[in-house]
Every structure is written in C-alpha cells, then in structure tokens.
Amino acid sequence: MKVISITTYNIRNLENQTVITDNKFITLVGNNGQGKTNFLESIYSICYGNSFRKASINQIKTFNTKEAYIKAEILLDSNEKIEIKYVIKEGKRSIYIQNKEIKDRKELIYTVPCIVFTHEDINFVQGTPEDKRKFYNQTLTLYDSLFLDDIRKYKSLLKQRNILLKEEKYDFLHIYDSQIAVTGMEIQKKREKLIIEFNMIFPQLFSLITQEEENVSIEYKPSWKNCTYADCAERILHDSLEKDKRYQTTTTGPHRDSFYVIKNKRNYIETASTGQKRLVSLILRSAQAAFYTGKTGIKPIFLLDDVLLELDIDKRARFLDNTKGFSQAFFTFLPREIYFREGSFEGIVYNVENGEFKNR
C-alpha cells in the first residue's frame, strides 16, 4: 500500500500542486514553517478524515478562501488504485472514496491505515491519564471497529449521566448505570487483552533500540479493578453515588483508567530524562504499528515528523533497523541533517520552501 500522489488546493501554506510520492521512502527537507508538517497533515487527513493536530476544519484551509481540498491516489495491497478526496466547503467537511461520499469516518479509517510520529507523542508517556488512554484507545481502534463503537457509545452514555448529576436528577441514573457498566466492561476487557499482547512486542523493541537489558513493560490499572462482569461495575457505580453527587461527575469507569511504563518494577517515567521519554514514545508508536500488522497482516504508512532529530545517528539507525513494519514512510528533516546511514534508505527527496516541493 502506498500513496502515489497528493494534490493540495488551498491547504494551509502549501502550493496548489500535485506531489508525486510513488516510492517506499519519501524525505521532505526544509526549514521550519515551510510546509513539511502541513503535507504530512494532508496525508493523515486522507487516511482518517481529520488532522493529527488540534485544528478545526477551517484552520486546515488557507485563510480567506472559500473552498479547499486534498486529493490522493492510493495503491492498495490488492494492486487496486483508488482516489480519496477530502473537501472543505462552507465550513463543512466532505470525504469521497472513488467519488462516493462516505457518511461516517469509520468507513475511511480502515481503508488506508497510517501511523503518525510527532513531538506531541511524548504526552502518551508523560501527559495526563487521558493522554495515555488516547494512545491505547487509538491502538485498538486502528483494527477493531466494534471498539470504536463501544468508545462512542460509552462517551455518549457518560455525558448523559454527568448531565443528570449536575441537574441533580438522581432518580434517572439507574437507566444509564446498567448500560455504562456493560459497555465499560467491554472496553476494559479489550484494554486488558491489548496490554497482554502489547507486552509481547514493546519490551523487545525497547531492548533492541536502547541496547538496555532491564525489564520494561506497560502496566494497566483499570478503575474497576477486580471486576470481570458488568454486575460488579454497576455495583461500583452505585456505591460511588454519594461521591459522584458531591463532584457532580462520574468518578469511576474506563474514563478513569491509568497506564504506566514500568522498568525494573518502578514507574520509569518518574525518573526518565526528556530524551528517554521521547525515545519511549517513538518505541510505543513502533509497537503500535507492529501490533496492528500482527492483527491484520497489513503494513501501515508511516508519517515521521522531525521525531528523529533528537536521536544520535546510532540510535536513529537502530530505531529504523527495528522499525521495518511499514508499507511506505514519509520523513521530515531540517537542512544539513544527516538523514540515514549511507546506503540504508533510498527514495524520493523533496526540498520544501514556502509550501513548494522540488525534487533534489
């Protein structure tokens, strides 16, 4: 699977142009602010129907323009070529596959899977519990559409229950408690299974890339810890009611779960340097890709946005040597950077300046 070409029209600071990407390795070289990340964002939008940044639809569009679009020609693993088009018009987003509009992004995200590596990934390691949950939810959502449905349903039920708590309409809470318990336990069980399987991948990658032998793993601590059935979860919701009333929010459930990186039986992130945390975030993304390929047999597209710059050439080489599970990879670098070990990667190299892409 690979992106053969990307056409952008009125997208951020990018020139209105078609960029040929018919190669396994695409390297974008340019100073900051020239459009490298905007280009990766365009590819991601084609894959998932939204940005990996915290950006509204209108922020993706060039300022003061009425219409914008991204169009990609994709070669699937079946050797079928398809066209995906992401259109922004009158403040609304429309997505088309082979000129047929899709109504739910779920139809899109399983067509062209991609994994994006950004500096913000460090939040999956050192950020809030919500940031960490987001990574593991995303890992499951990549291949399990039913998990995506569960997350959507759980969020909707939780929102309604919290409204009742704020409005002090306690007599209606039981209507939501049983549904939250059933849906929440499905989420918890899938997270528990994920971590068991993830810990068959992540520690080995960590050891290969860091050259460290210490035991490293991911630990999952569910809010409903000791529960295996919905009845147990519903009982916890009932027992927590007085606390929920006091705080006017639901204080237990999968939205309160925690994840930790454990090294030698201790929370590794509490003592790790910023560089070590960034490396862990890179390895997590690589493990995410390996997990996805193991589940589906499909290699995703990689988008690596300046994340290798802080690694020395040896760590960078070990990371790339042990991160081969992609069908196509897009790298961004600053000028005068040593990109890869000589002869290890070949492909298309573009110089990017003022949103314009020129072959080297």
The answer to whether residue 155 sits within a structural domain is yes
- Tell me what pLDDT residue 339 has: 65
Q: What digits encode the pLDDT tens for the residues 33-92?
A: 999 999 999 999 999 998 998 877 888 988 888 899 999 999 999 999 999 999 999 889
CA-wise closest residue to 306 among 84, 29, 98: 29
Q: Which residues pair with 74 in a beta bridge?
A: 3, 82
> Distance (Å, rounded) from C-alpha 250 to C-alpha 5?
47
- Tell me what pLDDT residue 329 has: 94
The answer to whether residue 285 sits within a structural domain is no
Number of C-beta neighbours around residue 360 at 10 A:
8
Q: What is the bridge-based pairing of β-strands 348-353 and 328-333?
A: unpaired
Q: 132 with 271, same domain?
A: yes
CA-wise closest residue to 23 among 334, 337, 330, 294: 330
Q: Which residues pair with 2 in a beta bridge?
A: 75
- Tell me what pLDDT residue 212 has: 85
CA angle 79, 83, 86 (to 5 degrees): 145
- Tell me what pLDDT residue 132 has: 97
Full residue range of the structural domain in which residue 217 is found: 128-276
The answer to whether residue 149 sits within a structural domain is yes
CA-wise closest residue to 252 among 181, 147, 149, 170: 181
Number of C-beta neighbours around residue 32 at 10 A:
9
Residues of the chain with pLDDT under 70: 338-345
Q: Quote the tokens at residue 31.
A: 């100073």
For the chain, the domain total comes to 2
Q: 95 with 142, same domain?
A: no
> Distance (Å, rounded) from C-alpha 88 to C-alpha 360?
32
The sign of the dihedral angle between the CA atoms of 320, 323, 328, 332 is: negative
Q: Are 359 and 349 in contact (CB under 8 A)?
A: yes
Which CATH number belongs to the domain containing residue 165 in this structure? 1.20.1050.90
- Tell me what pLDDT residue 57 has: 80
Q: 238 with 134, same domain?
A: yes
Q: What digits encode the pLDDT tens for the residues 181-200?
A: 999 999 999 999 999 999 99
For residue 304, what are the CA distances in angstroms to 175, 271, 308? Answer: 45, 26, 8
Q: 141 with 183, same domain?
A: yes
Q: 104 with 135, same domain?
A: no
The answer to whether residue 356 sits within a structural domain is yes
